[in-house]
Amino acid sequence: MKCNRLYPSLASRLGSVWYRHFRTYTKDIVSNGFPPFMEPLIFLAGMGLGMARYVPNFVGMSYLQFLATGLVMTSAMFTASFECTFGTFIRLEFDKIYDGMLAAPLSVANVVVGEAIWAGTKGAFFSFAVLVIISAFGIVNFFTALLTPIVGFLTGLLFAAIALLMTSFVKNINHFNFYFTGLLSPMFMFCGTIFPITNLPKSLQIVAELLPLTHPVRLGRVVVMASGWKYSLLLDLFYMVCVTSIVLFLAVRRLEHRMVK
């Protein structure tokens, strides 16, 4: 007699990982949800309002607009990176959350991809929060920029994949400082967030084009401003999808050795 066993669908398995993180995050929604709205406000007040007086016109827009539209995707980068480095490491090594998940009908791939989807969701939320703030101050038109969270989600997925791969190598939680200081901070400075990469020397422009932040910032700026559409932006989207897929695959393979001992 053949025995039929019903397993949850792939969507249910990934959704269960996402929902677990959602429930944890929203337990303290005030302290978790308030900073995304305040951080861009503080940064724009400190940098944008001061520098805008010295740089009134900037590549077809005000400097305040240029800076604000760059912050939309860097916020997604940082939140996804924190979630899938420190957050994933703590769940893996200290809280042993994944031991319980893997005791359920979940594979390592389900857990890792679910983590990335959750980080992508946070990227969408943080990019939306920045959009709300810069729209409230009249820097951009909120209603023409409603596609922004979609790019924020893709940006979150991209940097979640990179962060998960990084986490697969890290044995000491303090080593993440090298990742944030050595890679994320330079990308924030040199990938078109605070000035165009065309201002860099030719050799550094090539390096900037290879770095993952350049592409979501360029794509996100066009989406937020709802102008400047070019076919070359499809290459930015292609880069993001390809790098996310390849790096996430490598992260799954490496984390299998950490989660299943």
- The pLDDT of residue 261: 67
Contact between residue 122 and residue 158 where contact means Cβ atoms under 8 Å apart: no
Nearest alpha-carbon partner for 126 in 25, 215, 57: 25
With 0-12 / 13-18 / 19 or more C-beta atoms within 10 angstroms meaning exposed / middle / buried, residue 137 is middle
Over residues 225-240, the mean pLDDT reads: 94
SS3 254: helix
User: In this predicted model, what pLDDT tens digit does every residue of 144-195 receive, in sequence order?
Assistant: 999 999 999 999 999 999 999 999 999 999 999 999 999 999 999 999 998 9
User: In this predicted model, what pLDDT tens digit does every residue of 47-97 receive, in sequence order?
Assistant: 766 777 777 777 788 888 999 999 999 999 999 999 999 999 999 999 999
Q: What share of the chain is helix, strand, coil (3-state, %, to 5)?
A: 75, 0, 20
Phi and psi at 61, nearest 5°, equal -150, 170
Nearest alpha-carbon partner for 108 in 126, 124, 88, 125: 88
SS3 137: coil
Res 2 pLDDT > 50: no
Residue type at position 77: M
C-alpha to C-alpha distance for 41 and 70, rounded to whole angstroms: 14
